[in-house]
Structure 1
Amino acid sequence: MVIMVMRKLLEVERFDERRSASKERSQNYEDVLIVGQPVQISLKKLAPSQTKLIILNTSGEVELFTSTDQIVSTQTPLSLEQFPEINLLSRTFSDQIKDRSLQISFQDDNGRQLSLVKLKLTVVRVCLDIDADRDGVIDEDNPQKADWKWGINGHGAVLLVNSDRDIVYSNQEDDDTKRLIKGLLDLKDFSFMIVRKTGLRDLPSGYELYLSVNKDIGKKIRIYDELDRDSYELIGPGRIRAKIRDTNRDILLAIEGLSYPQPFTQKWWEVEPTFLK
């Protein structure tokens, strides 16, 4: 099994040309980026219908590039047809809320500005760490956590299916039917991961950190809250997204498998940290 951070789309609404009669329409947005996680903006969807050119300007540590990893120039006119979308990436976390920005000027073929989009950005470092090298220790940001390799010298966390009965001849239900952790005997059947956030102590107003999986994966695993609480189910069958309640410290989570992979099916799964407003 591999647990990895997935690429996410930076959601920005399409500009509605009917909203304003002013000649120079301006839109202001704000969003949160995760260090090292590229996000994408569709310039074509944002652009007014008469747009031919765009001019991009950034402040703070923000990189712009295309889907083919071509660096995108700033402060110079670019053809919208050649750059229908761009990717953003930041490699360092913010010292202050909204300390970076992206400005997009949409212009017609005569260089007349049709619309101006301003995006204020806050960058947070979030790591979802696992025992990627299988030595029993959860390393911080191990580069092999986003890949899987079989064998004794392989990498990627191993997920156990917790389907046994911890006490022989007990009348208790099997472990895979429970929805919470019951004692130390259960812990030997779990894998563990740590959610780490560094940078700003508090998130920008209105933003919350969630873990999520797709519906298919949600039927096959359970993720439990940190072990010094009641350790109730965060994610599992019927629940594919859960809020991380405390983002000011490292959070230890337990994860178990509910079923074994079938032949010729995907044998690695993804868990994704995301910010929602």
Structure 2
Amino acid sequence: MAPRRVVQLSLEQPTHAVCVVGVEMVVDVHSDVPKGAKTFGAAGSPGVEVSVLYDPQRVTRPSGKTRWPLDASVDVVVSVDTASKDLDDLTVRVSYFGEHESRALGHATLYLTGVDVSLDVDTDRTGTVRRSRGDKKTWRWGPEGYGAILLVNCDRDSHTSMRPDLASRQLASMADLQDMSPMVLSCNGPDELFDSHKLVLSVPLSDSKRVGVFCSRGGNFLSDYKQVLGPRQLSYKVERQPGEQEVRFYVEGLAFPDADFLGLVSLSVSLVDTGTLPEAPLFTDTVVFRVAPWIMTPSTQPPLDLYVCSVLDDHGSNEKFLDDMSYLALKADCKLIICPWFENRNDRWIQDEMEFGYIEAPHKSFPVVFDSPRERGLKDFPYKKILGPDFGYVTRKSLFSGPSSLDSFGNLDVSPPVTVGGQHYPLGRILVGSSFPEASGRRMAKVVLNFLFAQRVQAPVELYSDWLSVGHVDEFLSFVPTSDKKGFRLLLASPSACLKLFQEKREEGHGEAAQFDGLDNVIKRSINEMLADRTLQSDNLYAQKCIDRNREVLKRELGLTERDIIDLPQLFTQKDSYAEAFFPDMVNMVVLGRYLGIPKPYGPIIDGRCCLEEKVRSLLEPLGLRCIFIDDYLSYHKMMGEIHCGTNVRRQPFPFKWWHMVP
């Protein structure tokens, strides 16, 4: 609690003071005392609360007439409950008495002017600003928590600017106000008081580059709103109009939480007496905001938009693949968005370029695309084509080194909501691929990892993906939704499940059935040949060990059991000490609700059906999922990617409000 302001009294002349509604002020009754005075009494006019604070160990509360001993352990505290209509319209009178005299030896008069000053934000997280006299300086998580929330104004509402709204000190449009959090300054009191007092809004230097404040003068034109606080302005003298009791402000976030920013910013208003040298603040009210984190959505959330690239290269166009995606989007009732080849410059790996997420406050939510550090043909697409009204943009790029393959966002995923050892993660946990923990190797850029960890609400988990040539987590895992209590299954690529399936088919007399049957200009490999290939066996023993290591981490960090995991048959081959998918990697699928777009594996044909497809159907379709196998062999697989790598999905946000969790 801030120390109470002290006002000294005088026997010679009245004292004048300003008292803020609801704020206690100490009246010094000890400094100017009549000779012989031993006791005193204090009374206030209507509207003034007068109370006496004392140490009961040293002072006995008087009975009868309220005369208190002039003891150092006795303080008089006053407060007012409403703003004054005129200057000095409230009074406190202190009378001093001798040991036994009933007649006062002297009097001191304090004239008070009550002023109502309060800075208020949406502390209750209801979407509206309400007056609060509670703790506005503290921000607390949880369903019973409190504290205001700020959105990073990272969309682009302006039709004339190419930059996000936060890059401008001008209001982009009237719609831009919806991306900001309202803040109200109450300032009720006699107009004459503000001839000698001023209200100053301020932001700490450390927060000034992370927050912008616009003052509203109540009009419907952009010129009625001006930025008064921000990176180049730390304070603002409030331009209060005569009779004005409220001044409205709009606050925008300028930066996401990061390694050097916990996400909390504060703003203060001070009532300053301009008649003193130096000018003295009489009262300060402070509010705290937390900047909303960027939140990823897992593949179990319903799809809204399916993104895919149109390409034209030496193999021809991917028109058939686009047709298959169109069919899939139609079945899943989501919108298909095709990035044309002249915008992607024949870069088909749209999953690697960006990740969709969202930000949310009680009054507003909008999607935000996270642009990866990857610098390929699609590098301009998120900024130039996705950033727009109510669609934000954020990126992190290393200043010290170029991106590695692990910086692509096929190496970034997030689990569905999970509970681990009593700790609930209602927004899931972010998953990123990294190098072997005990060895050097490729890792995701530190600036990206720092950003992900700083969001706090999806506590990241690092997995081992550096054993793969491309090195992405989507090469060995995926999540699919289910309608049971668990709500999802983790799918893992499994060499051992594949070899076991092939052994079963050989024992059933199908050893001559061949992998890649149905593909032209591709060497066929019979089941017998694959099972006899010691190099292939060795490669997949190693791949299985790497996946098993991740399996244990995922079980531990996501609170999973074996019942929550489904092994999809898959084989890998080693090239230059790194693994690649031997046939199209089925776990690298696109999940659109219950419809799964799965790479067609071209497995051995048995009784007219691909045994790999049949195995996957038997594992997933009993869960209510629909498996649609799509040929991506030439257009994606041969280029070391699959369907998930070549697609991207914007999904519905979680219904759960992130501020209700306790990270």
Q: TM-score, normalised by structure 1?
A: 0.67
Residue of structure 2 equivalent to 1:26: 12
Residue of structure 2 equivalent to 1:18: none
1:192-233 Cα distance to aligned partner (Å, 9 max, x none): 1222345x5634363445143463466243322115253223
Decide which moves more: 93-102 or 173-182. Answer: 173-182
What RMSD over aligned residues (CA atoms) do the two structures have, in Å?
Answer: 4.5
Q: Is the 8 A contact 2:187 2:246 kept in 1?
A: yes
Q: Is the 8 A contact 1:160 1:191 kept in 2?
A: yes
Gaps of 5+ in 2: 275-663
- Correspondent of 1:204 among 172, 193, 204: 193
Q: Is the 8 A contact 1:7 1:38 kept in 2?
A: no
Q: Residues 86 and 14 (structure 1 numbering): CA distance in 2 closer, same or farther, change over 3 Å?
A: closer
Q: Residues 69 and 145 (structure 1 numbering): CA distance in 2 closer, same or farther, change over 3 Å?
A: farther
Cα distance, 1:66 vs structure 2: 5.7
Alignment of 1:121-140 (within 5 A): 121-139=112-130
Residue of structure 2 equivalent to 1:272: 269
- Correspondent of 2:43 among 9, 34, 57: 57
Structure 1 residue 192 and structure 2 residue 182: aligned? yes
Residue of structure 2 equivalent to 1:224: 214
Structure 1 residue 99 and structure 2 residue 82: aligned? no
CA distance, structure 2, for counterparts of residue 275 and residue 136 of structure 1: 31
Residue of structure 2 equivalent to 1:252: 248
Q: Residues 97 and 81 (structure 1 numbering): CA distance in 2 closer, same or farther, change over 3 Å?
A: same
Structure 1 residue 35 and structure 2 residue 30: aligned? no
- Correspondent of 2:229 among 231, 235, 244: 235
Cα distance, 1:92 vs structure 2: 3.1
Residue identity in the other structure for 2:273: L
Residue identity in the other structure for 1:254: Y
Q: Residues 240 and 54 (structure 1 numbering): CA distance in 2 closer, same or farther, change over 3 Å?
A: farther
How many residues are matched? 257
Residue identity in the other structure for 1:184: M
Cα distance, 1:158 vs structure 2: 0.9
Cα distance, 1:121 vs structure 2: 0.9
Q: Is the 8 A contact 1:51 1:106 kept in 2?
A: no
CA distance, structure 2, for counterparts of residue 265 and residue 110 of structure 1: 63
Cα distance, 1:80 vs structure 2: 3.8
Cα distance, 1:120 vs structure 2: 0.7
CA distance, structure 1, for counterparts of residue 108 and residue 50 of structure 2: 16
Cα distance, 1:254 vs structure 2: 0.8
Residue identity in the other structure for 2:84: S
Q: Residues 260 and 129 (structure 1 numbering): CA distance in 2 closer, same or farther, change over 3 Å?
A: same
Q: Residues 263 and 62 (structure 1 numbering): CA distance in 2 closer, same or farther, change over 3 Å?
A: farther
Q: Is the 8 A contact 1:129 1:145 kept in 2?
A: no
1:47-79 Cα distance to aligned partner (Å, 9 max, x none): 47x898563332232223467899x98962432
Alignment of 1:83-98 (within 5 A): 83=74, 85-98=75-88
CA distance, structure 1, for counterparts of residue 54 and residue 165 of structure 2: 47
Q: Is the 8 A contact 1:28 1:118 kept in 2?
A: yes
Q: Is the 8 A contact 2:36 2:98 kept in 1?
A: yes
Residue of structure 2 equivalent to 1:82: 73
CA distance, structure 2, for counterparts of residue 42 and residue 265 of structure 1: 42
- The higher radius of gyration belongs to 2
Q: Is the 8 A contact 2:202 2:267 kept in 1?
A: yes
CA distance, structure 1, for counterparts of residue 265 and residue 126 of structure 2: 19
Comparing both chains, which one has the higher relative contact order based on Cα–Cα distances under 8 Å and sequence gaps of 6 or more? Answer: 1
Q: Is the 8 A contact 1:57 1:75 kept in 2?
A: no
CA distance, structure 2, for counterparts of residue 230 and residue 69 of structure 1: 54
Q: Is the 8 A contact 1:133 1:144 kept in 2?
A: no
Q: Secondary structure at the match of 1:158?
A: strand
Residue identity in the other structure for 1:98: D
Q: Is the 8 A contact 1:7 1:37 kept in 2?
A: no
Residue of structure 2 equivalent to 1:157: 148
Q: Is the 8 A contact 1:208 1:243 kept in 2?
A: no
Gaps of 5+ in 1: 1-5, 16-24
Residue identity in the other structure for 2:271: T
1:86-130 Cα distance to aligned partner (Å, 9 max, x none): 432122333543221123457898999998543211223344332
Q: Is the 8 A contact 1:201 1:248 kept in 2?
A: no
Residue of structure 2 equivalent to 1:3: none
Cα distance, 1:249 vs structure 2: 4.1
Q: Is the 8 A contact 1:226 1:252 kept in 2?
A: yes
Q: Residues 126 and 63 (structure 1 numbering): CA distance in 2 closer, same or farther, change over 3 Å?
A: same
Q: TM-score, normalised by structure 2?
A: 0.32
Q: Residues 76 and 143 (structure 1 numbering): CA distance in 2 closer, same or farther, change over 3 Å?
A: closer
